[in-house]
A = this chain, B = another copy of it.
Amino acid sequence: MNKERLLPNVNLERETRSCIYCRSIHDGVTRFCNKLRDFSRKALDVGRNDPRKTIYAIKMGFALSLVSLLIFFREPLPDISHSIWAILTVIVMFEFSIGATFIKGFNRGIGTFLAGMLAILFAALSVCVGTWFGGEWEKAVIVISFFVTGSFGSYLRFYPSMAPYDYGFRVFVLTYCILMVAGNRTRDYAQAIISRLVLFAVGGFVCFLVNMCIYPIWSGDDLESLVVNNLKELATSLEGCVNGYLKYVDYARTSTRFSTHQAFDDQLLHGYKTVIESATTEQNLLGFAVWEPPHGKYRKVYNPWKSYVKVSIAIRHCAYTVMALHGCILSEIQAPSEKRQVFRNQLQLVSTEGAKVLRELGKRIEKMEKLGTNENILKQVHEVAEQLQKTIDQRSYLLVNSESWKIGNKSNKELKGRDDLGKENKTLHTGFKSQSETAVYVKSPLLLASNRDFPKKNKQLRKHAPWPSWISFQGVDLIKEDEVKTFKSASALSLATFASLLIEFVARLQNVVDCFEELSEKAEFKDPNVVSTSDTRV
């Protein structure tokens, strides 16, 4: 009876278990398929966003299959396995752009030559030692030579300026090992070394040929579009930051920002980060571009690529200010929204005009066009910045706590009672007073602690009142009125910070324009006036 009652249960259990297995396998397969789909989609996007990457891959495949034909030439080469060294050279040396291939080829050439010399040296030494002291000592010399080469090669990788050639050192060590092993095998070091060096040369030649003749990719083009892109990104970022600052700020969201990397997820805001991070890429591209011969629209033998980088450095100088502007959005101390609205129009005008200048410069660089002789590209933006500064001047009572002025207490009180206060101003002034008492909304670390990045534990961890102590003053009367006032004025001053950073941005724009003008002279950009007159003649 007991058995009968148990059996169905066991069966049921088995079925359930097998069902669970089925489901977990099914889930696993589904998840794998989804991942595969995601992967392919992203992989396709790479080529779609920059078709040159696809072309590069095809070129690489072509060069590889071209050099692999060597396998089948059995006649001139006694041992076809050697052809792998030509293949290895192609794999190691085939780079994206012409400039990079040139540099890589140059470095590879020097590295191979040095490895060859070193191999000949140690080979001669080992043979000598072998003849005099016996075969065992020859082996010892070879092993020691491997040790010395391996150690030095690895050590020099850490040399400060050698970081980009990291795998160049590996290739050097590898080449040395290949030559020694081959020589040791045939006992004819000279022949082994020379035949391999020839194969390396063949591989290098195929690399150059394929890379230069089929759809060459130029680092110079990349450098130019990087500069243009930086200008565009910064423009978007500037507008985004100002608009973001003026928008109502969701504090729960802001507080998570710093710890996760969401701060930079916002398309509109993260532009400046691209600009700041582009420094390394820029230096790399400059390094490649100076090796490239004239091509496309760059007809000068020594195109002033350095001036392009100078423009980019000036742009970065501006980007740091935009970064600081963004810092105001992420700030712990926030100015109340209604105060921001007072300066709304001026702030937005400055950002729009500033962005316009950046975009215009980008267009000029793309078209390789100078600024006109009577054109002051900065006129508009300077005007609106002056306007902003004037507005701040006229309304700076919103930014400071004039009540606590040691010299102004009494007269300010008088001021309040005066009849000549304009109605608008009255509202603003009193509005500020009343609002700031209710609307001191500062991102409290307590709020921060409660979000998912800061586990609940943290709440118990916190042993002291947070600072600035806004949050406590809303509920409990622990804080002295004195302190509250202090923090209120900090919040107001943060608006001054934002505005003054924006004005600083405008001041820095001058450097960008200066660098652009230097570039346009050196790279012999065309004069738009001349073009337009010749156009009208035609």
A155 neighbours in B (Cβ, 8 Å): 43, 46-47, 53-54, 57
**Residues of A22-77 contacting chain B, CB below 8 A:** 42-43, 46-47, 50, 53-54, 56-58, 60-65, 68-69, 71-72
- A435 at the binding interface (Cβ < 8 Å): no
Q: Assess whether B407 is in contact with A421, with CB atoms less than 8 Å apart.
A: yes
Taking CB atoms, residues of chain B closer than 8 Å to A324 are 320, 323-324, 327, 501
Minimum distance in angstroms from A38 CB to a CB of chain B:
11
Residues of A in contact (CB 8 Å), total 151
Q: Tell me if A500 is interfacial: C-beta within 8 Å of chain B.
A: yes
Report which of B91, B449, B466, B515 forms a contact with A170, defined as CB distance below 8 A: B91
* Chain B residues, Cβ within 8 Å of A68: 142-143, 146, 177, 181
Near B by CB (< 8 A), chain A positions 286-339 give 310, 313-314, 317, 320-321, 323-324, 327, 330-333
Q: How far is the CB of A191 from chain B (nearest CB, A)?
A: 14
Contacts of A415 in B (CB 8 A): 407-408, 411
Whether A159 lies near B259 (C-beta < 8 A) is no
On whether the beta carbons of A61 and B500 are closer than 8 Å, the reply is no
Q: What are the 5 closest A-B residue pairs judged by CB atoms, nearest first?
A: A61-B151, A332-B507, A396-B400, A64-B150, A57-B155
Known: A88-B177, A94-B154. 15 other contacts (CB 8 A): A53-B155, A57-B152, A65-B150, A71-B181, A81-B182, A84-B178, A87-B177, A91-B150, A91-B177, A258-B317, A331-B507, A378-B464, A410-B420, A457-B521, A497-B500
A-B residue pairs in contact (CB < 8 Å), sample of 24: A57-B152, A60-B150, A61-B147, A62-B150, A65-B150, A69-B143, A167-B167, A258-B314, A332-B507, A333-B504, A376-B463, A393-B400, A394-B404, A395-B405, A395-B406, A399-B496, A407-B422, A411-B411, A411-B415, A448-B511, A457-B518, A458-B514, A462-B517, A497-B501
Q: Least Cβ distance of A457 to chain B in Å? A: 6
